[in-house]
Amino acid sequence: MSFANVLLVDDEKSFLEIMEKRLGTRDLEVTTAESGAGALDELGRNNEIDVVILDVKMPGMDGLETLKAIRSDFPLVEVIMLTGHGTIETAIEGMKKGAFDYLLKPCDIEQLVGLVRKAKDKKSAHEEKIMQAHMKEITGRMI
């Protein structure tokens, strides 16, 4: 059984193929998208996604724009940004805008899986708190 559902977003097809295989062997359910717009479409139809692994440098909608849209439309989904040396500033900006964390490309697969695990734990804790708040509201009404 997989421990998290991951959406991998990158404009490089070969990178997506390799990473999909590598992450798939580590108990992750992996979906891919080749653009920011594609990622938002996928999130709109698949509410199982826990963590987005997001390339910073993409044509059209870049990583930072995509991050902002995810934070506003899918606030419970956690985002890990993947950045090259030239775009480290963007990753820092992403952290300020609510990304869970970032990694430099080429990234260590174990490190990435570790981050996905932590991001998923954060999301689960968040969901648990929201559920408890709902329960309190319901029991409050019954008294």
Cβ distance to Mg ion smaller for residue 6 or 9? 9
Count of residues interacting with Mg ion (CB under 5 A): 4
Separation in Å, CA 78 to CA 48, 84, 101, 135, 141: 12, 20, 9, 24, 32
Among 7, 11, 77, 83, binds Mg ion (CB under 5 A): 11
Question: Rounded distance, CA 141 to CA 79, Å?
Answer: 36
Which range binds Mg ion by CB under 5 A, 27-35, 58-66, 85-93, 135-143? 58-66
Q: Which of 55, 51, 62, 63 is nearest to 4 (CA)?
A: 51
Separation in Å, CA 105 to CA 40, 57, 86: 23, 11, 11
For position 101 contacting Mg ion by CB under 5 A, the verdict is no
Among 20, 34, 42, 57, binds Mg ion (CB under 5 A): 57
Q: In angstroms, what is the minimal distance from the CB of 10 to Mg ion? A: 6
- Contacts with Mg ion by CB under 5 A lie at 11, 55, 57-58
